Amino acid sequence: MNKFLPTLKSTSKPVCVLFICLSLFAFSSSFGQKKHNSKVTTKKASSKRVIYGIASFYANKFNGRKTASGELFSQKKFTCACNMLPLGTWVKVTNVRNGRSVIVKVNDRLHPKMRRVADLSRAAATKLGYTAQGLVRVKVEVLGKKSPVL
């Protein structure tokens, strides 16, 4: 049994080195690449930023909790969470399917790994007509920091 042990050690060394080299090569080739599961497109038309993507709406458990901007969240207000725009930005969100639109204020953030464009309050989602579906394809037009005339 001992006479096979030196042979095993001498052949396992090059195999281990080869395995380590292949592992490092595979790791380095995938390093820095990002996965994009959701299609989010951004268009900038004459100083107006437009974003297309998927929107959802807040769960009831967030009602009354503090948002990222410090405001208390309410399902009855026309607000949304968005990672792509600064807090306090006013946006016009349009349901691409039925053409309904609503103006909301960005006052919260989504989870960093969330691929959705916006998470709207129930009042805004109801006005857009997608509370039964849960998710909807939307067009988000940036209106600016000033409160729009409603």
pLDDT tens digits along 49-96: 899 999 999 888 888 899 999 999 999 999 999 999 999 999 999 999
Banded pLDDT at 112 (limits 50, 70, 90) = confident
Percentage of the chain with pLDDT > 70? 68
Percentage of the chain with pLDDT > 90? 52
Architecture of domain 41-144: Beta Barrel (2.40)
Lowest mean pLDDT across 20-29, 102-111, 113-122: 20-29
Query: Does 137 have pLDDT greater than 80?
Result: yes
Q: Which residue has the higher pLDDT, 12 or 114?
A: 114
**For 11-32, how does the pLDDT look when each residue is reduced to its tens digit (9 = 90+)?**
556 655 555 655 555 544 444 4
Please state, in angstroms and rounded to a whole number, the distance separating the CA atoms of residues 18 and 45: 53
Please state, in angstroms and rounded to a whole number, the distance separating the CA atoms of residues 148 and 102: 12
Structure confidence at residue 46 (pLDDT): 47
Please state, in angstroms and rounded to a whole number, the distance separating the CA atoms of residues 27 and 24: 5
Structure confidence at residue 59 (pLDDT): 84
The string of DSSP letters for 29-78 reads HHTT-----S--EEEEETTEEEEEEEEEE--GGGTTSB-TTSPBP-TTS-
